[in-house]
Amino acid sequence: MRFVGAALRSASMVSSRGRAVLVRTAVNQLRFTTVDAVPLLLLVGTLVGLTVLVQANLHASELFGGTLGRIVAATVVREVGPLVTAVLILGRSGTAIAAELATVGTLGERDALEASGVDPYQYYVLPRVGALVLSGALLTIVFLAAALVLSGLVAAVLGLIPAAAFFGSLQLALLPTDMAWAILKGAVYAGGIALFCCHAGLFAGDRATGIPQAVTRGVVASMVFIFAVSAAFSIVLYA
């Protein structure tokens, strides 16, 4: 909590000249976390969507004909989509952030910045948190598009489901509020990942052995955060 407080205080003290530097860092982070990750998100989203579709189709046809779209929407949009997106962000970008910031400590970069009057929270944490929050929201949309649309098309081409019935029921089942909550969840998960991984990296010490330890700490803390927040969202929104 102290770390979050320090980061927030730093955010309120950025000068206009410093802001340009931070925006440039955030754009780089955004490119790596979002743009470069789109192919992976499309692939995994399609595969996860297919997996859910096959199971949902099995039960939907047995129990409630025509409810395939509802089951998929409820499962993918409300729960699986933001969660898997967060895990992918953690695997690609969270680990990279923790390793990068831990390396920065071993190279003396962080101390040199502090000795020059540059706030490490401003320079390292703010752009990464900002970029990951935005990435979390955008990549959740990408994942959901792949998991709902691409997987539906693939399943239809493979003859696993009737395409018209699926997309018809999906259209009826998709609620704007569910989409909005999913995007918000994606942003919250990614923001948490950025904070935990930045914290782990910045406080990794000045030895090389601290780098893998920082990555492990960042990943474990982020995982616990993601699943705890996911459970909390489910209880508050749907229980």
Binding site for other proteins (CB under 8 A): 6, 9, 13, 15, 17-18, 20-21, 28, 107-119, 122-123
CB of 124 to other proteins, least distance (A): 10
CB of 13 to other proteins, least distance (A): 7
Burial of 194 (0-12, 13-18, 19+ CB in 10 A): buried
List Cβ neighbours of 180 (8 Å cut-off, separation of 6 or more).
none
Q: List Cα–Cα distances, 32 to 58, 83, 92, 97, 110, in angstroms.
A: 38, 20, 9, 11, 22
Q: Which is nearer to other proteins, 112 or 180 (CB)?
A: 112
Q: At what angle do helices 81-89 and 38-62 cross, to 10 degrees?
A: 150
Residue 107 CB coordination number (10 Å): 11
Q: Looking at this protein, which amino acid is placed at residue 142?
A: V
Q: Which is nearer to other proteins, 22 or 80 (CB)?
A: 22
CB of 225 to other proteins, least distance (A): 25
CB of 72 to other proteins, least distance (A): 42
List Cβ neighbours of 147 (8 Å cut-off, separation of 6 or more).
45, 46, 48, 49, 52, 76, 80, 81
Q: Looking at this protein, which amino acid is placed at residue 10?
A: S
Q: Which is nearer to other proteins, 21 or 184 (CB)?
A: 21
CB of 33 to other proteins, least distance (A): 15
CB of 94 to other proteins, least distance (A): 18
Q: Which is nearer to other proteins, 17 or 177 (CB)?
A: 17
- Strands (E) in 68-167, as ranges, are none
Q: Which is nearer to other proteins, 50 or 104 (CB)?
A: 104
> Degrees (nearest 5) of the Cα angle 153, 158, 161?
70
Q: Which is nearer to other proteins, 20 or 172 (CB)?
A: 20
What is the Cα–Cα distance from 160 to 71, expressed in whole angstroms? Answer: 16
CB of 20 to other proteins, least distance (A): 7
Q: Give the number of residues written for the chain.
A: 239
Q: Which is nearer to other proteins, 115 or 235 (CB)?
A: 115
